[in-house]
Amino acid sequence: MQYRNGQFISAAAAVDLHLGFVPDRVQVYNYTALAAQTGVGKSLWINNVVANANALIDTYSAGVPTTSLITSNGITPVSFGGNWLITTYTITTISNANPGVVTLSAVTQTNGLSLANGQTITISNVDGMPALNTNRYIVSQISGNTFKLFDTFGNPVNTIGLGTYVSGGQIDIISYPAMAPVLNPINGQVITPGTPAGLQYDTGWAGVTLGTGVVGSSTNVIWWEAFYATPTGW
């Protein structure tokens, strides 16, 4: 079982809960409404039972709760979010060079994250050059549908002795800096690190959005719990 909980002071606006998983159940308690016995005191969303953006709510009036279903601005599960919808690109060939040149079928996709210099990627399922698979690389010197391959320290990846590309393969974008690093146009090494530095950040996330129908009024004290039943029970 995965479990997350927390408290926040409502601003009467939707709130994103970055959980690291899409929960099976989310329970929201409005301490302020419960103490006053007025307004929406409790909200419940159950995956595959309560529709997305809906919620079962307990509304208190003169201390008596009434359960109802709201069909908008309730609780919405989020997986990857925003533009993080398509991050994989198909490899059509990889050259034997220093650095190796990767050719893709395309570098942009509808509703997807476009390939850009400075991104961190993984390579998988390449036939003929297996040493490239499962490792992390930095994209550099994009030209048309090709880019040059560098490791995460900014060093060129020499593919001359790694065999000959046969078929298959894909890249998966796994991080993207808010500000891409400045790369040496000759060797691809990092001149100025991206911001933030290192592997940057992953713009995707998993969790839920608590809509305005369940977060109460401004300054209300909100407590939430999220549960996810893992296959092993842990």
The full DSSP string for 30-75 is EHHHHHHT-EEEEEEEETTTSPTT-EEEEEEETTEEEEEEE-SSSE
Mean pLDDT of the chain: 85
Whether 194 has a pLDDT exceeding 70, the answer reads: no
User: pLDDT tens across 63-117, in order?
Assistant: 889 999 999 999 999 875 444 446 788 999 999 999 999 999 988 876 567 788 8
pTM equals 0.52
Domain with CATH 2.40.30.180 in the chain: 88-192
Domain 88-192 in CATH 1.10.1380.10? The answer is no
With contact defined as beta carbons under 8 Å apart, do 46 and 25 qualify? Answer: yes
Rg for the chain, CA atoms, rounded: 24
Buried b / exposed e over 37-69, threshold 16 CB at 10 Å, is eebbbbbbbebeebeebbbbbbbbeeeeeeeee
**Euclidean distance between CA atoms 220 and 8, whole angstroms:** 8
Which segment of 57-61, 100-104, 113-117, 121-125 scores lowest on mean pLDDT? 113-117
